């Protein structure tokens, strides 16, 4: 019968082989992890670049919309200004007509106009004195 002797040298060799296999497996795992990390970093960079591009496009779009709204607001302000000028002219014409009427009445009845003016002044004075 053959004697199966397992010596310390055999044990050392087995341990060395196991250690080499573990080292090799760890290197492969580290290399795979590094490759995955690089791949993920590339994807993140691509996503960041895409996000920057989209943000730039959104900013450009917002600027363009802002310009359009500013133009619309400017046109509306001009329209309102012209309408206000037109109304002010109409009011001035009406006021001029009333002024002519009052001037005519004062020329015809100066004493009555003076009395009315004094009465109105007295009432305004009373109202202001109470405050």
Q: What is the pLDDT of residue 3?
A: 60
Full 3-state SS string of 98-129: HHHHHHHHHHHCHHHHHHHHHHHHHHHHHHHH
Question: Domain boundaries in the chain?
Answer: 15-130
The three-point CA angle 69-70-73 to 5° equals 85
Q: Give the tens place of pLDDT for each residue, 23-73.
A: 999 999 999 999 999 999 999 999 999 999 999 999 999 999 999 999 999
Angle at which helices 110-130 and 8-108 cross, to 10°: 140
Neighbouring CB atoms inside 10 A of 87's CB total: 10
| Strand (E) or helix (H) holding 89 | helix 8-108
Confidence band, pLDDT 50/70/90 cuts, at residue 122 = very high
The three-point CA angle 31-34-40 to 5° equals 145
Average pLDDT, the chain: 90
Query: What mean pLDDT do residues 12-20 have?
Result: 91
Q: What is the pLDDT of residue 6?
A: 75
Sign of CA dihedral 17, 20, 26, 32: negative
């Amino acid at each position: 019968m053959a004697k199966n002797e397992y010596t310390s040298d055999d044990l050392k060799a087995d341990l060395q082989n196991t250690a080499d296999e573990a080292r090799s497996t760890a290197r492969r795992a580290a290399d795979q992890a590094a490759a995955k990390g690089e791949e993920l970093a590339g994807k993140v960079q691509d996503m960041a670049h895409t996000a920057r591009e989209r943000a730039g496009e959104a900013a450009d779009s917002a600027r363009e919309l802002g310009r359009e709204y500013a133009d619309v607001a400017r046109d509306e302000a001009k329209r309102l200004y012209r309408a206000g000028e037109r109304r002010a002219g109409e009011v001035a014409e009406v006021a001029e007509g009333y002024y002519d009427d009052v001037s005519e009445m004062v020329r015809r009845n100066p004493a009555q106009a003076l009395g009315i003016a004094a009465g109105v002044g007295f009432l305004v004075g009373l109202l202001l004195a109470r405050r």
